[in-house]
Chain A
Amino acid sequence: MNILFKIIRYQIHDISRSKWLLFYTLFFFLITYGLISFSNDQSKVILSLLNVALIIIPLVSIIFGTVYLYNNKDYIVLILSQPIKRKILYLGLYLGLVIPLAFSFVIGTLIPLIILGKNIPVQIMLILFLFAAGLFQTSIFVSISFLIATWNENKILGLGLSIFTWLLFSVLYDGLLLLMINIFQNYPLEKALIGFSVFNPVDLARILVILKLDVAALMGYTGAVFQKFFNTNFGIVVSFLFLIGWTVIPLMIGKRKFSKKDF
């Protein structure tokens, strides 16, 4: 356990000095600052922020994670030649990347909210849900990126797979769902849609926040079905469980692969 904290600590040291992380924080700062300056409707601000976060966080997390593992391969070899368990190193590398990324997002968003917050009343609960969505996106996509980078020796292939995964969950998945709704519009699809959306971590997070915002009606008929299912406490618990599953399952598979891998 002790070793785990040490690995995380040194990694945070390393990553927090990366200028990419600074850009990332600055990006959220500027976006949030801008959005609050332009609008004083809290739903609009949170919704726009959510949409930006759900595109950017998965993209940055998955690319950063993949590149980090590939670039530090020799360093990983050096650490593995020390008396350290592979499992511990994998978890250490993972948490050491998730923590600074998540921290960046929270800080970047929180500072403008505090500075300009008095102009518009924002529900604390809503912000917490937004942060939860962002943190889950970070933990899920870093977890997937580690799995991809552990599985593939080939850097180009790994990076391609990462970008494709991001594209799939952020853009293609919704498109395919829309196509399906269009084709099967004569059939009752609501339940199936709920089923499909839990298999996309980005959708899961979006639904959580949107329902909290009470704009689900804007999502039309299916929105109402979602509301019926998700806005009960049971629904929230279920979606949190699925988000946790999306983090833990790729992490565990990656850890197993990492333990058996040749370096």
Chain B
Amino acid sequence: MITIDNLCKRFGSLEALKNVSAEIKKGSITYLVGPNASGKTTLIKSILGLVKPTSGTIILDGEILNGNFRYREKIGYMPQIASFPENLTVEEIVNMIKNFRESTKTYDEELIDKLILQKEFKKRLKNLSGGTRQKVNACIAFLFNPDILILDEPTAGLDPVSSSILKDKILSEHKNGKTIIFTSHILSELEELAEQVFFLLEGQIRFNGTKDKLINFTEKQNLERAIASIMIGG
């Protein structure tokens, strides 16, 4: 379980997060939605310890995050932009991350098989297309069977086939009891995957609840219209 308490983050004069409090239950799928620059990525990065909060606390499974690093063994992260050392091959990257996470001994290579990544294994990263890099990124996030999966726009740049493979994987991991947090601008994904919705606007959580509640809350007939109506300022 992740408890976020009064989290604030300032970048100079810009307030990226303003008193964000939220609770993400174990085994839930949480969908972070909001317009560009609403603080979604900052919130995710705070949980990962990549961004140091100005004030407030995050508690992950009873552990307060303040520069500690071991807790990240529980997290698989798929960043928005996939970037790796240009001259390494895919295989070396995968082995490298495996080497960095020695405590995990059993690997979940289902995604590597399904996305047929083996055939790219000998290629150098600089010769890969953006979509293939994104696949590498996804495979690494799922590889260690982490309790918590944080996916920042996971399907952006993926072809429809790969994207549905990834979505199936997300759902099956959810069934295995994993906590999943993801962001996306594709609202059909929200309908398909999400249980809990956090709507962020200008660094504040404007809505927090299940997706059915969101529809009732805005009195619109479907999610897409519901989201659009809060974005416009309902």
Contacts and interface: CB of A to CB of B under 8 A. Distances in A.
B87 A6 contact: no
Contact of B50 (A13, A17, A83, A262): A262
Interface string A242-263: 0000000000000000011111
B97 A82 contact: yes
B100 A15 contact: no
A85 B73 CA distance: 12
Contacts of A262: 11, 45, 50-52
Interface in A59-100: 72-75, 77-86
Interface size class of A (residues with CB under 8 A): 20 to 34
A83 B69 contact: yes
B89 to A, nearest CB: 9
A14 interface: yes
Contact of A82 (B51, B83, B101): B101
Interface in A159-178: none
A83 B101 contact: yes
A81 B72 contact: yes
A84 B77 CA distance: 14
Contacts, number: 80
A82 B92 CA distance: 16
A83 B101 CA distance: 7
A102 B192 CA distance: 54
Q: Which of A72, A74, A75, A261 has the most CB of B within 10 A?
A: A75
Interface size class of B (residues with CB under 8 A): 35 or more
**Chain A at the B interface: mostly helix, strand, loop or mixed?**
helix
Contact of A81 (B79, B82, B103): B79
B86 interface: yes
A10 B88 contact: yes
A109 to B, nearest CB: 24
Interface in B92-145: 92, 96-97, 99-103, 124, 137, 140
Contacts of B97: 82
15 contacts: A10-B85, A10-B96, A13-B87, A13-B88, A14-B88, A18-B87, A72-B85, A80-B49, A81-B50, A83-B71, A83-B101, A259-B67, A262-B11, A262-B52, A263-B45
Interface of A: 2-3, 6-7, 10-11, 13-15, 17-18, 72-75, 77-86, 259-263
Interface of B: 11, 45, 48-52, 67, 69-73, 75, 77, 79, 81-88, 92, 96-97, 99-103, 124, 137, 140
